[in-house]
Structure formats: structure tokens, C-alpha cells
Amino acid sequence: MLVLGIESTCDETGVSIVRDGKEILSNVLSSSADIHEKYGGVFPELACRRHIDVIIPLVEEALQKANITPEQLDLIAVAKGPGLIGALLIGMNTAKGLSIAWNKPLIGVSHIEAHLYASMMSSDHLPMPALGIILSGGHTLLVKILNVGEYEPLGTTVDDAIGEAFDKVATLLSLPYPGGPHIEKLAKTGNSKGYSFSSGKVKKNPLYFSFSGLKTSVLYAIKGKELSITEKGDVAASFQEVALQDIAKKAQLALQQFPASAIYLGGGVCNNSRLREIMAEKFSHLPIFWPPMNLSADNAAMIAGLGAKKFLNGTDPLDLEVQTRIPIA
């Protein structure tokens, strides 16, 4: 079975061809991060203009790299949400156009569920029930996974997403956007006990996250000061440690609520090596499924992979709508 997947929820346009839900024949991506850099965050209209420019050339490139013709495809899968409305509409309408032109069925999948599925795609055995942790630029989510497609949300963020907090602290330290990888690199040079920041707690919701207070503490710690590179390293390391330990602590609390057989993670922040260390230390008794490095951040292979899995339950009509907000699936 050959699936063409399309991703366009935010600032990345991706097209991928996946065979039998697992084998990635091509996975091409174009990011508009370069144009958002000077704004310190995604500028939706500019992201949309870039999606329009690159999406069809990326479809052609994905087919060419996979050495596949449109006739050979079995399904078009698209990220139906959550995301920026204009960006989603470009991916959705491209998918619908291709579905009509090539006479192939269409399926819409959740971008968040696909992030989680990226850690499951290559395994035949998926222990369940399990804890799912999604850590990206737009989402911070703990979920109980009963099965692929069956989730119970446990906790989310009340303000910034974890990746967004990394990006905002990076901006405060005059690092490029997106800042997560730059914070990680700088943190390696610093002392994580250099600054005493603390994580956010949400009243009556111990599994919920809040990162805006942490970000503000960083702002006040450095405001008006000319920091040396060593001090910047300490700020980055101290912030990163508190933010990541907060994820691990809340994951530990979530695991007290039900007998989980594994942990599955997804989202761009999963590329952080300190996060991988902390999780391995804290949860050595459980199998931890990480997305491969090339499938952590936004990509279309996870959309095609999940599309293949969902195809077993049927396809979507051509009046399928985008959804800017989806809790998970």
C-alpha cells in the first residue's frame, strides 16, 4: 500500500511517500523558519505564502525521489489540524485536488496524534495501555493511550507549549529562531544549578503545565544585564533542566494513575538529548519509544504512516474540513 502524506499545519511544508505504513520512500520538507526569525515566532500569513509556493513542487519531488507515479498511489493523507487555519487550508485543498485529479481516496489525520504515532511507526509490537507525551512548539500533552486512536487526555499546558518556552527563552538570550536546539547547545556549556528557577504548578491540576512563570523568571534574571557567554550558558542550562524535569515529574505522577506498559513520545522537543537522558534515568523500568530523530519535528511521513493505519477504518469525504483545534485525535 502506497500513501502520499501532506503536512502544512504551521511553518513546515512536507510531503512523503510511505509504503505499507512503515517504509519511508521519500520525505521532503521545506521550512519557512528563515522568514519568521526576525519576528521571534511564526508569522501566519508569511507561512501561508511559502506553503503555496512550495507545496506542488514538493509533491513532485516526493514522487520523483520515491520513484513512484501517481497511478501507483493508494491513498492521500493530510494533516487536518490542529494548526494555523490558512496553512491547514493549503494542505487540505492540495490533498483534495490530488484526490480528485488522481481518483484516490482521501484521509485526514490529527497532527498531534501523528507526532505520537511517529514513535510507533516502525514497531510491530506496541505495548498498551501506555503513557503518551507530546512535546512540540505548539503542544504539551500527557495522554493515556489505550490503543492507536483511543486516548484519554491527562494534562496539557495552560499557557506556553514547552517548545514555545524554549523558543521564547532563546529570543531573550538573542539566539536564532527556532531556539530549542540553540538552548540545548548553549546549555551543554553551562551549569544547570547556576540560576534557581522553578517550574510552574497549576492549582488543582497536578498534571497540567505552565511555562510562562519560568519564562518570566528568566527575563527578570537577565533583564538589563550584559551577560557573559558563561552566564548565558548557565541561564540556558538552568532553564532547560527545570523545564525538562517538570515534564518527567508530571509523567511520573501520570504513571501513578494507571498501569502503563510503555511510554511513547513525540514532537520536536524529543530531539533534546538531555530530555532523553532524564527520561531514561527516571523510567528505566519501562520501554520508552522515541520517534526517530528525523520524525520528531514536523514531517509528512508521520502523516502518511498514520493515514495508512486509519485507512483500515475507512476514508474521509471530499467535504472534510480542517480543524484548528483538536485535543489529540
- Residues found near ligand KG4 in the complex (CB under 6 A): 10, 136-138, 163-164, 166-167, 178-181, 184, 267-269, 271-272, 297-298
| Nearer of residues 190 and 268 to Zn ion, judged by Cβ | 268
Binding-site partner at residue 269 among Zn ion, ligand KG4, none, CB < 5 to 8 Å by type: ligand KG4
Q: How far is the CB of 162 from ligand KG4 (least distance, A)?
A: 7
Residue 119 DSSP symbol: T
* Of 169, 161, 180, 123, the residue nearest 309 (C-alpha): 123
Binding-site partner at residue 166 among Zn ion, ligand KG4, none, CB < 5 to 8 Å by type: ligand KG4
Strand 75-81 to 2-7 pairing = parallel
| Nearer of residues 217 and 271 to ligand KG4, judged by Cβ | 271
| Nearer of residues 31 and 99 to ligand KG4, judged by Cβ | 31
Q: How far is the CB of 7 from ligand KG4 (least distance, A)?
A: 9
Q: How far is the CB of 260 from Zn ion (least distance, A)?
A: 23
H or E stretch at 245: helix 229-255
Q: How far is the CB of 201 from Zn ion (least distance, A)?
A: 26
What count of Cα atoms within 13 Å lies in the side-chain half-sphere of residue 148? 24
| Nearer of residues 21 and 268 to ligand KG4, judged by Cβ | 268
Query: How far, in Å, are 147, 218, 234 from residue 292 at the CA level?
Result: 21, 31, 29
| Nearer of residues 21 and 138 to ligand KG4, judged by Cβ | 138
Give the position of cell 542550562.
237
* Of 135, 144, 117, the residue nearest 240 (C-alpha): 135
Instruction: With beta carbons less than 8 A apart as the criterion, state whether 157 and 247 touch.
Output: no
Binding-site partner at residue 7 among ligand KG4, Zn ion, none, CB < 5 to 8 Å by type: none
